[in-house]
Amino acid sequence: MSATAEKFRSISPAEFFYRNKEIAGFANPARALYQAVRELVENALDATDAHGILPNIEVSIERDSVKQYVYRISVKDNGIGIPEKYIPEAFGKVLFSSKYVLRQTRGLFGLGAKMVILYGQMTVGEPAEIISAAINSRRIYSYRIMIDVRENKPIIVSKGVWPNNTGWHGTMVKVAIEGDWSRAKQKILDYIKRTAIVTPYANIVFKTPDGEIYTYLRVTETIPPPPRETKPHPHGVDLELIKTMISETKAQRLIDFISEEFQGVGNVIAERFLTKYGFDPSKDPKTLSKEELELLVKALKEFNEFRKPRADHLSPIGAELIKIGLNSILKPEFVDAVTRKPVVYEGHSIIVEVGIAYGGSIQPSEEVVLLRYANKIPLLYDEKSDVAWKVVSENIDWSYYGIVFPAPLAILVHICGTKIPYKGVGKESIAEVPVIEKEIEEGVRQVARSLKLYLARKQKEEEMMRKAVTIIKYVPEVARNLAVLSKANPVRIDEKELEMKIFELVKHKYGEYLNNISSPYDIVIGIE
């Protein structure tokens, strides 16, 4: 019996994700519907706030009138739009993206809308429609696109163009996919709500298949500074990156390559580095041997005189915007937030932000309500495997901060950087990296201390109010007795009016707690 020869061939990126849609988050109809909304909204926000534009985002999901389990998703933004020549590949070529630079973005793998379109093509078989106009474009372009899976290239089904008489700029994506709204509904609603928390500067309108409309209006026009592209840090390079950088550099001397292609390295430090490790500063980097390249990478990683990676290219939300967002959406009685100083993870700057919200409209629960974000993206799945969950559920003793569960407590954790240690391609949980875990814990403890002080002050004010209420009860009787003893003309005392006047004095002194209390009788009821 003769052995059958193995057949070998390569597959395109599109075919790879066609065969392995689960690793991109499209494991089942419910998860796919959620993932599709998430990917398209991320693209819309990156096209707006990442370029300094206050976002107006419209999201719609409609049931197909004929095909069961088919949903038509539409996401429209007012972003920078896409130049006409790039529209087909931007939506029809997997791993073709503007995000393959060292810059903080919501998207990471260049999948985004392409994976949504590919999944829709697999399950429904209809082309996606893209309508876009770049800023100052005199025309609006429309493409109906499918993806050639074997060749990883767009198939243009039809194209349209018309005058841009209104000056609109932005992008609208319409795609039909197989989904399960009943199972995905809560996740999608949570995703939109949590997105609104960290983008209080955005208008977001969401129309559901049930005809419900959720509107999150802009409550501030302050927008985080857009992220900027940055150069690699010497501690974050590997052999392949060095080869790529050398192949693309215009520097003809090694000292110029080190000082020009890396962040935070000047001529003096570059020369000191090269001299210490025995490199010729005048040598052409393109002539380095394999052994010299390996030595260069090792030296770059261990040289400790390079400045720490800069973080000015990152775009954190900011403590004030976090507080505005938490107040606007959760309506708590107490809120605080902190943006931690940058730390370094594998040669990349990371910034951790933490917010806390307590009381008010937050419903008491047996566990902390954890709002997780990475580069402003809400993370809703795999919560228990995330490092932030470990911190709030295991590392923190909440009783020390005056919290007894069930409690109305929410914690927001945001991690931003150009290299986020996700646990999987689905980008739903953060790995337990010690430096990040420490930053989250320090941030949580910092805002928890603020809450502890607030609760202690509130408890003290409650004690003072109890005393004040007791005094108010006896003031009319004391006044009458004093009038008798002093033989003053008896004047009828309006007890209610007197109690209210005294209450106003108490309210003036303890105004923070009494803001929502209109009479001393409310205090008695509240205390009892």
Specify the DSSP element, H or E, that contains 140: strand 139-148
Q: Are 149 and 118 in contact (CB under 8 A)?
A: yes
Residue 158 burial class via C-beta count within 10 angstroms: exposed 0-12, middle 13-18, buried 19 and up: exposed
pLDDT exceeds 80 at position 109: no
- Based on the fold, state whether residues 188 and 264 are members of the same structural domain: no
| DSSP label at residue 234 | G
Of the pLDDT bands very low, low, confident and very high (cuts 50, 70, 90), residue 496 is low
Q: How far apart are CA 415 and CA 375, in angstroms?
A: 6
- Annotated binding-site positions: 43, 77, 98-99, 107-114, 427
DSSP 50-112: GGTPPPEEEEEEEE-SSSTTEEEEEEE--S----GGGHHHHHHSTT--S--SSS--S--SS-H
Average pLDDT for the chain: 85
In a domain, 159, yes or no: yes
Q: How far apart are the first and last CA of the chain?
A: 91
SS3 213: strand
Single out the residue of 258, 253, 259, 261 nearest to residue 287, CA to CA. 253
On whether both 330 and 348 belong to a single domain, the answer is yes
Q: Are residues 350 and 286 in the same domain?
A: no
- The token pair at 393 is 């559920």
Which residues, other chains included, contact 326 with Cβ-Cβ below 8 Å and sequence gap of 6+?
197, 332, 335, 337, 355, 357, 410, 412
Report whether pLDDT(314) > 90. Answer: no
Residue 525: what pLDDT? 37
What pLDDT score does 527 carry? 36
257 and 368 together in one domain: no
Query: How confident is the model over 261-303, as pLDDT tens digits?
Result: 888 788 899 999 999 989 998 999 899 898 999 999 899 888 9
The phi and psi torsions of 109 (rounded to 5 degrees) equal -105, 5
Using the predicted structure, report yes or no on whether residue 138 has a pLDDT greater than 80: yes
Q: Are residues 469 and 440 in the same domain?
A: no
Return the higher-pLDDT residue of 130 and 497.
130
Read off the pLDDT band of 511 (50, 70, 90). low
Q: Is the pLDDT at 528 greater than 50, yes or no? A: no
Radius of gyration of the chain, Cα coordinates, nearest whole angstrom: 30
Within a domain: 330 = yes
Quickly state the pLDDT bin for 100 (edges 50, 70, 90): very low
3-state secondary structure 241-293: HHHHHHHHCCCCCHHHHHHHHCCCCCHHHHHHHHHHCCCCCCCCHHHCCHHHH
User: What SS3 state is found at 119?
Assistant: helix
Residues 6+ apart with CB under 8 A from 263: 230, 231, 232, 233, 309, 310
Tokens found for residue 421? 């240690």
Residue 206 near residue 192, CB atoms below 8 Å: yes
Report helix angle 495-509 to 434-485, nearest 10.
Answer: 150
Domain contains 241: yes
Structural element, H or E, at residue 139: strand 139-148
Percent of the chain with pLDDT over 90: 54
Query: Is 442 found in the same domain as 472?
Result: no
Does residue 519 register a pLDDT over 80? no
Residue 378, pLDDT score: 95
Instruction: Name the residue range of residue 519's domain.
Output: 454-527
Which phi and psi angles does 337 have, rounded to 5°? -155, 160
Structure tokens at 211: 């005809």
d(CA 209, CA 212): 7
Distance of CA 385 to the CA centre of its chain: 18
Q: Which of 270, 302, 334 is at the close of a domain?
A: 302
**Per-residue pLDDT, 471:** 67
pLDDT of residue 102: 46
Separation of alpha carbons 249 and 264, rounded Å:
17
Distance CA 117, CA 92 (A): 8
d(CA 493, CA 500): 13
Asked if pLDDT for residue 521 goes beyond 90, the answer is no
Residues 440 and 468 both lie in one domain? no
**Is the same domain home to 465 and 435?**
no
Are 170 and 100 contained in the same domain? yes
148 — pLDDT class (breaks 50, 70, 90): confident
CATH of the domain at 411: 3.30.230.10
Q: What is the pLDDT of residues 173-207, one digit of tens each?
A: 999 999 999 999 999 999 999 999 999 999 999 99
* Shared domain check, 273 and 165: no
Residue 326: inside a domain = yes
CB-based contacts of 451, cutoff 8 Å, min separation 6: 334, 336, 356, 358, 401, 402, 403
Q: pLDDT (tens digit, 9 = 90+) per residue, 60-74?
A: 999 998 888 999 999
pLDDT at 108: 46
Determine how β-strand 139-148 pairs with β-strand 70-76. Answer: unpaired
At 283, which CATH number?
1.10.8.50
Going by the annotation, the residues of the binding site for ATP are 43, 77, 98-99, 107-114, 427
Last residue of a domain, one of 302, 327, 348: 302
What is the enclosing helix (H) or strand (E) of 412? strand 409-417
Give the pLDDT mean for 237-241. Answer: 83
User: Does residue 326 register a pLDDT over 50?
Assistant: yes
Q: How far apart are CA 46 and CA 80, in angstroms?
A: 9
Residue 21 pLDDT > 80 = no
Closest CA to 87 of 33, 124, 141, 168: 141
| Domain presence at residue 64 | yes
Question: Average pLDDT of 432-450?
Answer: 95
- Chain centroid to CA 312: how far? 18
Q: How do residues 464-477 score in pLDDT, each as one tens digit?
A: 666 666 666 666 67
Q: Does residue 247 sit in the same domain as residue 394?
A: no
Q: Is the pLDDT of residue 99 over 50?
A: no
Q: Give the residue, 426 or 291, on which the prediction is more confident.
A: 291
Angle between the 254-261 and 239-248 helix axes, to the nearest 10 degrees? 100
300 vs 214, residue with greater confidence: 214
- Residue 134 tokens read as 């770049």
117 is a domain residue: yes
Q: What is the pLDDT of residue 93?
A: 84
Query: What distance lies between CA 462 and its chain's CA centroid?
Result: 38
Burial status of residue 247 (CB atoms within 10 A of its CB: 0-12, 13-18, 19 or more): exposed
| Residue 100 belongs to some domain of the structure | yes
How far apart CA 39 and CA 51 sit, in angstroms, is 18
Domain boundary residue, one of 216, 244, 267: 216
* 181 shares a domain with 33: yes
Specify which of 95-104, 187-196, 218-227 reaches the highest per-range mean pLDDT. Answer: 187-196
Q: Residues 327, 331, 336, 342: what is their CA dihedral angle, to the nearest 10 degrees? A: -50
Pick the more confident residue, 164 or 261.
164
**Given this model, what pLDDT does residue 348 score?**
79
Evaluate whether residue 200 is within a structural domain.
Answer: yes
For the whole prediction, is pTM greater than 0.85? Answer: no
Measure CA 519 to chain center: 42
Instruction: Read off the DSSP letter of residue 398.
Output: G
* pLDDT in the model for residue 217: 96
Number of domains comprising the chain: 4
